[in-house]
Structure 1
Amino acid sequence: MTISALFRTSRRPAATGGGFDRRLIAPMILGSVLNPINSAMLAVALIPIGQDFGAPPSEVAWLITGLYLATAVGQPVIGRLVDSFGPRLLYLSGTALVGVAGLIGVLAPHLWVLIVSRILLGFGTSAAYPASMFLLRSESDRTGLRSPGGVLAALSISNQVVSVLGPPLGGLLIGAGGWHLIFAVNVPLSVGCLVLGWLFLPRAAALGGSLAAARSERIDVAGMALFAATLTAFMLFLMEPQLSRWWLLVLCAAFGAAFAVRELRIASPFLDLRVLAGNPPLLATYGRQFLAFITSYAFLFGFSQWLEEGRSLSPSAAGLILLPMSAAAIAVTAATGRHTEVRGKLLVGSLVQIAGCALLLLVGPQTPIGWLVVIGAVIGVPQGLNGLANQNALYAQADPTRMGSAAGLLRTFMYLGALAASAANAAFYRDGATTDGLHGLAWLLVSVAAVFLVATVADRSLRRVGRTGPAR
């Protein structure tokens, strides 16, 4: 399938006429990959960064969790602002912050400055994906586009590709000039986003119809703050889930209760809990996203760390072994991307996910490189299917007037899964990335993947999503 074929989309007659504005595709894709590429490149940089700063793994782990925390909070909050003020302002502000964060990371004199850089990266990269989903909906309204399956597939491909290309790219950059380069690369990426966004993203005045309903509502700043406090307390507990940290769960419950009371009482809530509770299919999609990315990120970080420590490979070699994941994800998403039906994708993805995680039980310090490459290729299949299917499901299930915040919340559940994966890696790798630790992690991932399969089979609403045929 060619790239141009991916962008062909089904249309029905519309008064406004015209097709999808393809000038939007470049800024949408480049902006949306900023977050996954920064997540993935770090997978092979944790050990050299820790060695450079003389920091223990417990401190270095904040480089991962700092970005996840900022992203999980920032995505739905910025998505709600996108719904109200349009994508252009938030996209340009966010991508500019990415460049600033990259410079801070390059010049960081010690680990905690580097962690601040990652937190800023998390907030900066939180604007592009909600902005892209908002633009897809507004273009659908303008053109009468029945389903932008090709563009959704392109977004999914780009995110999946950079997620698995991130480790080899990170390894090459580290080999060329040290870990500082994985932060420096954000500067040209930021400049590219700013140029494309300034040239092609529509101004708010051109989106009057799409913004009218949201702009008539007051921004629920207090609700956003309570949401952020609830999520922060919960994620801090997930980082080290121990009984001695029970007070974080108490804080989470207190902030969460205050958040729920406020959102149920005001006319224009940040998250309309009544509407959300009345949309079980969308809640199920968020749950599947959480489960899918526990396995995805635990494998990405756990397997790559084991390749370096347990298998004694260099960061560059570990990154190259993960390249087949990229090839598999590209092939699968390109083959299925224009078809908006999701249930079949999720069933196949969940079954292959179980098989891929089970294969980790068979590896050891003497496992041939070819076998490790095969495992990466198998795991690439569900990475290509599950993310795309959940994205298509969200597009069909979410309230069109709150597409930005709904898309942002999907990313929140993605990073909640990533943070749970980080906690799992820390738990099983207390004595380093040993083979026994990898096998223990594999049993957990097989269990999570099995729950994902059960959740998919039980969700009958998936039968109705995308059953109108392929988007051409």
Structure 2
Amino acid sequence: MSPALARALRVLRPGGGAEDGGEAPSGPGGSRGGDPAAFDRRLIAPMLLGSVCNPINSSMIAVALVPIGAAFGATPSHTAWLVTGLYLATALGQPVIGRLVDTYGPRRLYLLGTGTVGAAGLLGALSPSLGVLIAARVLLGFGTSAAYPASMQLIRRESERTGSDSPAGILTALSVANQTVSVIGPALGGLLIGLGGWRAVFTVNVPLSAACLVLGALYLPTTAPGARSRRPVDLPGMLLFAALLLSAMLFLMSPRAALWYLPVLAALAAAGFAARELRVGEPFIDLRVLGGNLPLLATYLRQFLGYLTSYAFLYGFTQWLEEGRGLRASTAGLVLLPLSLAALTVSGLTGRREAVRAKLVAGSVAQIAGCLVLLACDAGSPVWLLLLGGVVMGVPQGLIGLANQSALYRQSDAARIGTTAGLLRTCTYLGALGSSAADSAFFSHGADTAGMHDLALFMLAGSAALLAVSLLDRSLRTVTPDSRR
């Protein structure tokens, strides 16, 4: 047993959940019961419920944009902020709240975040204007940012407590739960709108939040005040990071010469952030450690590249199916169903084996194959070819995200896994925004076949880069249950 693991086991006793300051009473859910060497399965329900708060709100809104626009007399360019507002808040909130999870423990931030989800849902359901509704979506973004880093922190602690260094099953459960909710989200949103109007899409957050609060209060381990909770929070670093990320993402959303000041602001914020983080004693993001952890940086790059192609296909192919191929929206949705089913199937079949490098290589090769299928499609393509494209592109969705999540778990410093997990999600949303910019550029005159082929070439370049990064990263050969980084 390594010295680090021995120290962790002394801190995280079987009754546990205490941090550096020792063990604290854990309330009604504190006694673990059963085999003290086994993963506490009571943690699974709050982790899964909390983690789906983000994908359910990301997917349900797709079917609510039109009725919301009709209710407030808003144009699509205005209602689009209901989507981008959530993405901006989540991309910023994930690493910030992840750092707070590392500092104060997962329980407090989980309860605060899931409680915010309920408050934001209620605000959205009662919104008198589009502006208030957008504010509710931003609040939702911040609220849903707590559960994932909190879950990663809990998984790491349980693995250290039990001495089991392979949490692949739990990581797979998180991934499959998120994918499943993303699949059923639009259908659930349509059902809710049919029953109670678009406000019901926001109301669903209230019972979801209540369930998370009850399960979290019962079963999440109580954190005792200790040395870690007394460390100062780097608020200036967080603000500079926020300025950097916000200005960069706003420019990515609509890149044009008139917004030249946004990349300038991003560069200035980046310089100030680097200067701050390199000299402060307790930085928000330890750039020295992060800069020296090249495998982790490569994981972030792979996450960005993987989701750049994934989201470009999801949004771009869907638009082309309706405009270029002439399918109705309902039919286009059915054509994309195999994509989600393939992703879920692949995740379920491969999830318990980490095999990080093999999954990344197979996923990137599948993305390349999917891009080639797109290049073969045109306005007269048979339906079976369109379905084939969805199936092929579903395979990497079931491999790449899960592989990067497993790699991050191995490569991250245990004391900062909340922050590093949050940054992984930020890279996901950067890929989503980059894909949105690509779709806008290639479909500037409509989603025609020529634009779709240009988009496929762009995706092909990103997929080839993902394959190259995966093959050249020698550290992936040693990401095994016996090698923690």
Q: Partner residue of 1:25?
A: 44
Distance 1:412 1:132, change over 3 A: same
Mapped to 1, the partners of 2:174 and 2:360 lie a distance apart of: 18
Mapped to 2, the partners of 1:57 and 1:429 lie a distance apart of: 16
Q: Partner residue of 1:202?
A: 221
Equivalences for residues 409-448 of structure 1 within 5 A? 409-448=423-462
Is the aligned partner of 1:384 residue 2:398? yes
SS in 1 for 2:399: helix
Pick one of 361, 365, 384 that aligns with 2:375.
361
Q: Partner residue of 1:7?
A: none
Stretch deviating more after TM superposition (97-106 or 363-372): 363-372
| TM-score computed with the length of structure 2 as normaliser | 0.87
Question: For each residue in 1:408-432, what CA deviation from the matched residue of structure 2 results, as whole angstroms up to 9, or x when unmatched?
Answer: 1111111111111222222233344
Deviation at 1:322, TM superposition (A): 2.5
Distance 1:321 1:393, change over 3 A: same
Pick one of 153, 158, 165 that aligns with 2:184.
165
Deviation at 1:369, TM superposition (A): 4.1
Pick one of 254, 273, 297 that aligns with 1:240.
254
Is the aligned partner of 1:145 residue 2:164? yes
Checking the alignment, whether the CA contact within 8 Å between 1:44 and 1:319 is kept in structure 2 is no
Is the aligned partner of 1:81 residue 2:100? yes
Distance 1:298 1:403, change over 3 A: same
The structure whose Rg is larger is 2
Q: Partner residue of 1:114?
A: 133
Distance 1:357 1:145, change over 3 A: same
Checking the alignment, whether the CA contact within 8 Å between 1:102 and 1:121 is kept in structure 2 is yes
Q: Partner residue of 2:480?
A: 466
Letter in 2 for 1:248: L
Equivalences for residues 63-462 of structure 1 within 5 A? 63-174=82-193, 178-205=197-224, 212=226, 214-462=228-476
Mapped to 2, the partners of 1:39 and 1:315 lie a distance apart of: 18
Mapped to 2, the partners of 1:363 and 1:97 lie a distance apart of: 45
| TM-score computed with the length of structure 1 as normaliser | 0.89
Q: Partner residue of 2:32?
A: none
Gaps of 5+ in 1: 1-12
Q: Partner residue of 1:36?
A: 55
SS in 1 for 2:179: helix
Mapped to 1, the partners of 2:315 and 2:66 lie a distance apart of: 11
Mapped to 2, the partners of 1:179 and 1:370 lie a distance apart of: 34
Give the paired residue count: 452
Letter in 2 for 1:70: A
SS in 2 for 1:235: helix
Mapped to 1, the partners of 2:176 and 2:164 lie a distance apart of: 21
Stretch deviating more after TM superposition (391-400 or 161-170): 161-170
Mapped to 2, the partners of 1:137 and 1:156 lie a distance apart of: 16
SS in 2 for 1:39: helix
Checking the alignment, whether the CA contact within 8 Å between 1:171 and 1:316 is kept in structure 2 is no
SS in 2 for 1:267: coil
Letter in 2 for 1:187: V
Letter in 2 for 1:106: A
Mapped to 2, the partners of 1:462 and 1:51 lie a distance apart of: 50
Stretch deviating more after TM superposition (261-270 or 293-302): 293-302
Deviation at 1:332, TM superposition (A): 1.0
Letter in 2 for 1:139: E
Mapped to 2, the partners of 1:246 and 1:137 lie a distance apart of: 43
